[in-house]
Amino acid sequence: MKKISCLMLVLVMLIGAMALAEPAGVIEISTAEQLAAINDNLSGSYVLTADIDLAGAEWTPIGAYAPSGESAEEQEIPAAETAFTGSFDGQGHTISNLVINQPEAWAQGLFGCVANAKIGNFTLENATVDAQMMGSDVVGYAYCSTVSGVNLVNGKVTAHAGEMSAEGMYGGIVSAGMGSMIENCTAQADVVIPDGTANAGIVGGGLEMTSVVGCTATGSVTAGNDCYGLGGVSGCGFAAEQFTDCTAQNVTITAGDNCFWIGGVTGYAGGYPDEQYGMPVTVFTNCAVKNVTVNAGANADGIGDIVGAGFYNEQVAQANGAPFDQPTQFELVDCVTDGEGDEADDTAAAAQLLEDVKGTYVALFPIITDPAWDQIWLDHCAAVVGDEAAPEVAQALKDACNGTIYGQEAIDAYGDGSNGMQFDCLFINGVDQITFDGTTISGTLAGETVFSHEYAYVSPLSLGGMMNGWLYETADADAGEFKYFFMMPDTPASTYHLEFRYGSDVDALTEYATGPYAYWLAAGFPVDADQAMTENVIGLFCDENLAEMAGEQPAA
């Protein structure tokens, strides 16, 4: 464990690239064959333009790990000619059915090794990876790179013991991270490691000087005997500058005998305040564990709600000396665990939301896509993509949320999504206006009441692990498809519109692309909205969806 410099990697990359001709421009990817061909140009800039199904083939990771030299430090720096050093923007598309079965291999995942790279903005669904060391569904080894906006659904990582697997490093999004950033990712995965291995978490495995921001983990970590570094979000957070807004929710960690350093968020973490060691004291801010269960065998040690422990035990101290003869230091700021007021806070927030959205709403998109507002769309799009591209981009944004089918009909129509897809954002089940009046929610069609019920808050709920909100239920037996309302925390004052779902099946309400509500998310707009609110909501929609193209994130 030592201080590293990403500048060293940049120099290595420059030297290694002197003889390589890098094609200019962005390369579009729409097929599995094109995705695999990234290995022929590892420094390119790529965008995904369609969903891709990898079923039926053993995947070869994009980029491979090889050390850049023989020294200990060079072993950590990937060779320029084998690592992926470009950029990959998934543009919200889905890659599905990844299978890697390499029980003796290192650095396995959709991307095997990335260095000084940027990847993100996609969903990886139904991924299964078997590896010996640095095994992940998404990225095996991330060096001085950024991984952002990745949503892992139904992931599985299985580690296999080998001569070099003691340090392990296994995670759903990134198995090993050095000097990197993992941000705004969600992972729903199961990670399984054998006896004598280490550093396993649902988002990240072994992370050194790697920050984790805005990430959520759901699933399980299962370890054999004599393992260490087990966490809901990450196994290790050594010398990370920050862990911020990270949540482990509905997670089970199961460890065998003689296991140590087990935490709801991270197994072990921290650094040393003495600047000569170059190891930041990790600060955990606004992190939370909700419904996290730890089942540990005999002689377990170093178990914590948020962080298991600092990096220290007698064996470490004797083997490494100073500064490792003392525990690494970390700080917890505004972190919460089950039983610390979360339930009361959720109840209050859910009640306040119903007060904040009082009013009558119609479907948003038929109003704001009226030709009368075309210039507002063009102005906001042109600010990002330029005047020439603005009309096409504006039309694409409009089309994306102007669908008129949902559920099985949409699933049948869109298939793998390669020919496009749309979200239906209308009101369904025969209503054209919905009124929120405190705990009473009602709907009408042409002025005639279709439903009207009293609703009570039930619990927080997440849509696909990416949108969080509140679930409300009515006790009325005749409510049918209006039994539940699932409300996102949008209000006219904050986002100029509402986003919500309603139906009779709670589990189906949490799924984006499957079940009876697939490709549907109602968007409501106040019936009394004025011109300024209309212009504001168009601007918000354009700015948020085009923020990555501008190279920045929208203001919160």
Residue-wise pLDDT for 193-213, tens only, equals 999 999 999 999 999 989 999
Residues 307 and 447 in one domain: no
Q: What is the pLDDT of residue 273?
A: 73
Identify the residue with better confidence: 440 or 343.
440
Domain final residue, candidates 299, 333, 367: 333
Is residue 361 located within the same domain as residue 322? no
Instruction: Give me the domain span that covers residue 242.
Output: 6-333
Mean pLDDT, the chain, rounded, equals 86
Residue 339 lies inside a defined structural domain of this protein: no
Shared domain check, 311 and 179: yes
Give DSSP secondary structure letters for 324-358. Answer: TTS--BEEEES-B-TTSSHHHHHHHHHHHHHHHT-
The count of structural domains within the chain is 2
Which range is least confidently modeled, 301-310, 331-340, 386-395?
331-340
pLDDT at 293 over 60: yes
Residues 94, 152 within the same domain: yes
CB atoms within 10 A of CB 316: 14
On whether residue 531 sits in a domain, the answer given is: yes
Query: Are 245 and 110 within one domain?
Result: yes
pTM passes above 0.75: no
| Separation of CA 556 from chain center | 17
**pLDDT digit string (tens) for 250-263?**
999 999 999 999 99
What mean pLDDT do residues 413-441 have?
A: 88
2: confidence class by pLDDT, cuts 50, 70, 90: very low
| Inside any domain, residue 168 | yes
Residue 555 lies in a domain: no
Cα→Cα distances 190→112, 325, 500, Å: 19, 34, 30
CA 504, 506, 507, 513 dihedral sign is positive
Q: Do 232 and 256 lie in a common domain? A: yes
Least confident residue range of 22-31, 353-362, 398-407, 424-433: 22-31
Q: Which of 332, 227, 338, 260 is nearest to 292 (CA)?
A: 338
All residues at 6 or more sequence positions from 146 whose CB lies less than 8 Å from its CB, including other chains = 117, 118, 119, 120, 180, 181, 183
Confidence of residue 17 (pLDDT cuts 50, 70, 90): very low
353 and 328, same domain (yes or no): no
Question: Do 112 and 87 belong together in one domain?
Answer: yes
168/191 Cα distance (integer angstroms): 12
One domain, residues 292 and 228: yes
Q: Is residue 352 part of a domain?
A: yes
Cis peptide before 323 (omega within 30 of 0): yes
User: Is 265's pLDDT higher than 80?
Assistant: yes
Q: What pLDDT score does 144 carry? A: 92
Residues 6+ apart with CB under 8 A from 156: 127, 128, 129, 137, 189, 190, 191, 192
pLDDT band with cut points at 50, 70 and 90 for residue 417: low
- pLDDT for 11 beyond 50: no
Q: Is 419 exposed, middle or buried (0-12, 13-18, 19+ CB in 10 A)?
A: exposed
Residue with tokens 């979200």: 423
In-domain check, residue 292: yes
Condensed to tens digits (0 to 9), the pLDDT of residues 34-43 reads 999 999 999 9
pLDDT tens column, 458-510: 988 877 655 778 999 999 999 999 999 999 988 998 889 999 999 999 989 98
Task: Tell me the CATH number at 505.
Answer: 2.40.128.20
End-to-end CA separation in angstroms for the chain: 36
Window from 47-56, 159-168, 383-392, 546-555 with minimum mean pLDDT: 546-555
| DSSP H or E stretch at residue 150 | strand 146-159
Q: What DSSP line would sit under 364-426, residue for residue?
A: SHHHHTSGGGHHHHHHHHHHHH-TTTHHHHHHHHHHHT-----HHHHHHHHTTSTT----B-S
Same domain (yes/no): 250, 392: no
- Cα-Cα-Cα-Cα torsion 515, 521, 522, 526, nearest 10 degrees, comes to 160
Of the CA atoms within 13 Å of residue 373, those in its CB half-sphere come to 24
Q: Is residue 53 part of a domain?
A: yes
Residues 206, 197 contacting (CB under 8 angstroms): no
The pLDDT, as a whole number, for residue 315 is 61
- Report the share of the chain in percent with pLDDT over 70: 87
- 168 shares its domain with 301: yes
Indicate whether 1 belongs to any domain.
no
Q: What is the pLDDT of residue 459?
A: 87
CATH number at residue 72: 2.160.20
Residues 380, 506, single domain; the answer is yes
